[in-house]
Amino acid sequence: MCGIVGYIGKKQAAPVLLEGLKRLEYRGYDSAGVAVLNPDGGIEIVKAKGRLQVLSDMTDGGKAVKGFCGIGHTRWATHGEPSENNAHPHCNDEKTIAAVHNGIIENYIELKEKLIRRGYTFYSQTDTEVATKLVDYYYKKYGDRLRAISEFALRVRGSYALAVIYKDLPDTIFAIRKDSPMIIGVAGGEAFLASDVPAILNYTRTVYYVDNLQIARLEKGAVTFYNLDREETSMQPVQITWDAEAAEKGGWEHFMLKEIHEQPKVIADTINSAVHDGEIDFTEVGLSDKALKKIKGVVIVGCGSAYHAGVVMQYVIEDLARLPVRVELASEYRYRNPVVNGELVIVISQSGETADSLAAMREAHKNGLKTLAIVNVLGSSIAREADYVFYTKAGPEISVATTKAYSAQLVAGYLLAIKLAKVRKTVSEECGKALLSELCSIPEKVKELLNSKQEIQKFASETMDRSDVFFIGRGTDYAVSIEGSLKLKEISYIHSEAYAAGELKHGTISLIEKGTLVFGVLTQKGLVEKTISNLEETASRGALIAAVASENVSVESTGIKNVFRIPLTDMHFTPSLAVIPLQLFAYYLSVLRGNDVDKPRNLAKSVTVE
Ligand code: AGP
């Protein structure tokens, strides 16, 4: 996510802004910039691609930029490649207004077209430049800075934490937020604004958490709040008790737990990025309905959890769109000299930099195949070289073990499956609408699961001494099992295997001993009875059995005593719910074992080498 900061006070602003941005580096970024109101009355903007150090070196640690009021930004690219031109702050043509923004303006194209018709030109690809010029448009129209902000909020759709400075009002920052975080601090004749608490903890622990659609006016040592009708409103500040490191995690103990809890929003954002007026639209991906209709086969490649997401997609796309789908480990596909037959190759990668996945994509291109990248990092290598790109909206994922990005990849797969099924008419119009409507209910169902994590936490504490854990399932329940097993082993270091439940009797069951923990995933109607009997076979050989099961799966009169229920949903989407207890199980076991949850031994977040 982007990070924004603002400062007004008796210090030179730029060094304070840079320090605040440094505290927000954990949010992930690819460029940065500051805008300061100079004593001579101008707005000075300095921006740089790359690390914050580049910007600091350009400005001698901020000392070269004079002025007591300014805003700053670290950009996590969502619209437009990482570049100096696209970096924030953005400004109007006369450089009398500058702004920074964290969020996504969903209707920025429509607004940009309206502003162009009113004579505006644009130098960047960003939605933020559009936002800045929209504020400029309303300031020119009404001559009222506060009204310019409120009119902006009434016109845009999406999420924003927006901070604006006006050249003709040197000691004031205006700000407004909707769905993107913003906090404000006031102390000792100074005022601070930021996306998150760590940026201002060195100056104050008394913080205002700005409400949605609340406007703030910051001046030296004071802040005034307004509603959208521009009536003053009052706010109570909060006393922050966290230390800086804990604050980076927003009060969560680990980034992984924070990111697990971000999944409802990430799933909703990823759905919303490709659904307009109730229809799945892959225009921005680059795939028209005509192009989708021409697809005769799909090969999915990825590594680790990305591969596991591909296994889910294989079941869902084949079942809904009746299209042949093959899923392969990228590290195998790249060397296999595959027989090709015009398939679309889908490359799944959170980082967009995984060496094996990039090589597999290049192999596909060598064979004359078109590629669709499902990636989370805008402008990453895989995104740049793919023919089509679907960007997941998971934001930066800090923890090495992926959770929210994996969930976003699943959503991308569901959307593609429903879209393919509709263009190929393998599902009816109303079935397609029903599937999309059910998909939109997943974020709330994930939230419901996260509110009842105590049971799985207790089970983890009861089973923390197990040396072997098996996960089994059929169909997409098998696909979830492999992801649950990977989560467990990569952060708890407990040996774990995942098997298609039907495979146990072909050798693996010989590994079952007294005390082996066997987790069954039970969501697929017509398959769960078989998996339950597989679980009971392992129990008769001494295993401790447990299950993640849909609410309508009966386990009465079975030996399964430890059941973790997930809400009912369409059978294609159960992986998004079944994986939640398994993510939490792995997390709690890692914590109980005293491991470095976010940075497990021997692992890197992105494996850019072979
Ligand atoms: C998942 O928890 C692991 N960190 C790892 O398997 C990861 O999914 C894999 O390395 C692929 O990374 P990518 O999605 O960035 O390509």
Atom of ligand 1 nearest to the CA of 487: 2
Contacts of the segment 139-143: beta carbons below 8 A, 24+ positions apart: 139/97, 139/166
Distance CA 371, CA 347 (A): 7
Any idea which residue has 């009746």 for tokens? 322
- The 10 Å Cβ neighbour count of residue 9 is 22
CB 164 within 8 A of CB 98: yes
User: What are the residue ranges in the chain where pLDDT is below 50?
Assistant: none
Residue 185's nearest CA partner among 196, 177, 170 is 196
What is the pLDDT at residue 89?
97
∠346-584-263 over CA atoms, to 5°?
A: 50
The pLDDT assigned to 452 comes to 86
Residues 6+ apart with CB under 8 A from 317: 298, 323, 325, 413, 416, 417, 420
Collapsed DSSP state (helix, strand, coil) of residue 189: coil
**Ligand 1 touching residue 357 (CB < 6 A):** yes
Ligand 1 pocket check for 481: Cβ under 6 Å: no
Q: How far is CA 419 from the centre of its chain?
A: 22
- Residue 513's H or E segment, with its range, is none
d(CA 147, CA 302): 49
pTM: 0.74
- Atom from ligand 1 closest to the CA of residue 486: 2
- For 264, 275, 287, 289, the CA distances from 281, given in Å and listed in that order, are 21, 6, 9, 9
CA-nearest residue for atom 3, ligand 1, is 401
* 509 CB within 6 A, ligand 1: no
Which residues touch 359 (CB under 8 Å, ≥6 apart)? Answer: 330, 334, 610
Chain-centre distance for alpha carbon 581:
19
pLDDT value for 196: 85
Asked if residue 176 lies in contact with residue 153, where contact means CB atoms within 8 angstroms, the answer is yes
Pick from 327, 350, 410 the residue to mutate for probing ligand 1's pocket: most ligand atoms within 8 Å of its CB: 350
Q: Is the CB of 400 under 6 A from ligand 1?
A: yes
CA of 441 to the centre of ligand 1 (A): 27
**Best mutation site among 402, 480, 490, 496 for ligand 1, i.e. most ligand atoms within 8 A of its Cβ?**
402
For ligand 1, whether the C-beta of 126 sits within 6 Å is: no
State residue 25's pLDDT score.
Answer: 83
401 Cβ closer than 6 Å to some ligand 1 atom: yes
Tens-place pLDDT, residues 440-458: 999 999 999 999 899 999 9
Q: Specify the pLDDT at position 247.
A: 64
C-alpha closest to that of 311 among 483, 504, 568 = 483
Q: Which atom of ligand 1 is nearest to the CA of 605?
A: 4
Beta carbons of 353 and 382 less than 8 angstroms apart: yes
Instruction: Express each pLDDT in 376-389 by its tens digit.
Output: 987 788 998 999 99
Residue type, 381: S
Q: Which has the closest alpha carbon to 258: 246, 276, 244?
A: 246
606 CB under 6 A from ligand 1?
Answer: yes
Residue with the nearest Cα to atom 16 of ligand 1?
349
Centroid of ligand 1 to alpha carbon of 606 (angstroms): 7
Q: Which residues are catalytic?
A: 2, 605
**Nearest Cα residue to atom 5 of ligand 1:** 304
- Tokens 């079944």 sit on residue: 578
pLDDT of residue 326: 97
* Nearest CA residue ID for atom 4, ligand 1: 401
pLDDT given at position 161: 94
- The HSE-up count of residue 216 (CA atoms within 13 Å, CB side) is 28
Q: How far apart are CA 161 and CA 117, in angstroms?
A: 27
- Give me 486's structure tokens: 């990977």
